[in-house]
Amino acid sequence: MNLGKENAYLVRQNILLQNNLNVLRHELTKLKKETSATQQYQTDLLKDIEMIPAQVISNSVRQRDNLITINVGSNDGVEPEMGVISGTGVVGIVSKVTPHYALVLSVLNSRSSISCRLRGTEYFGYMKWNGGNPLQVSMDDVPRHAKPRVGDIVETSGFSSLFPAGIFLGRVAQIHNSGDGLAYSLEIQMGTDIAHVQNVCVLKHKMKAELDSLRRE
């Protein structure tokens, strides 16, 4: 009798575990599809921009002002004030270059400020890292009538010559009221894990110099 009960219990547990496994497989498949779709969308956005491939040779995420070193430099056409991305989003901005290397101001740097917007809207702001969790950044001063929702995509706005509009940055994780209650402050779950990024591309916008000259006038 006890053996029969034990066998029935084990069968039930096996079914539950199998169902859980099926759910996890479904979520993993969905996540892979979303990642692939994001990468394809980003590729389409960048088709008219020259991309200089590079590898990360040093990186930090535990400082207040984190920097990344990559193995391409002026000999490869890299210049200061060029955007750097990975397959999942923005990594940073080139700060200094030598003939063979470049120093990148990581998005995890107190001086970093990336112009961004909520996808599908004209509501924009600046993505900033306030320290702490290297996977979370903030987007402040979002108007209340923007009606942001958890899960909304945050992308580059295209308001600078560093990044074209539409490059994935992350998703809204939490929504907070601003200090004066007139706007929202959004916590953004970043799409790129800077701590583990290895392969990147430097963006060389063919018309960057011309655009910058207009903005200086």
- The confidence band for 72, taking pLDDT boundaries of 50, 70 and 90, is very high
Fold of the domain spanning 114-192: Thrombin, subunit H (2.40.10)
Specify the CATH superfamily of domain 49-110+195-206. Answer: Rod shape-determining protein MreC, domain 1 (2.40.10.340)
* Closest among 157, 199, 192 to 171, alpha carbons compared: 192
pLDDT tens readout for residues 87-133: 888 999 999 999 999 999 999 999 999 999 999 888 888 999 998 89
Q: H-type helices in the chain, by residue range?
A: 2-45, 208-216
Question: Residue 214 half-sphere exposure, CB side, CA atoms within 13 Å?
Answer: 6
Q: Is the pLDDT of residue 13 over 80?
A: no
Please give the model's pTM, rounded to 2 decimal places. Answer: 0.74
Q: Return the domain boundaries, the chain.
A: 1-45, 49-110+195-206, 114-192
pLDDT tens readout for residues 133-156: 999 999 988 888 888 999 999 999
Q: Is the pLDDT of residue 59 over 60?
A: yes
φ/ψ (deg, to 5) at 34: -65, -40
Alpha-carbon distance values, 80 to 2, 70, 93, 140 (Å): 74, 13, 8, 27
CA terminus-to-terminus distance, the chain: 89
* C-beta atoms surrounding 16 within 10 Å: 10
Say what percent of the chain tops pLDDT 90.
48
Angle at CA of residue 154, ends 153 and 158, nearest 5°: 130
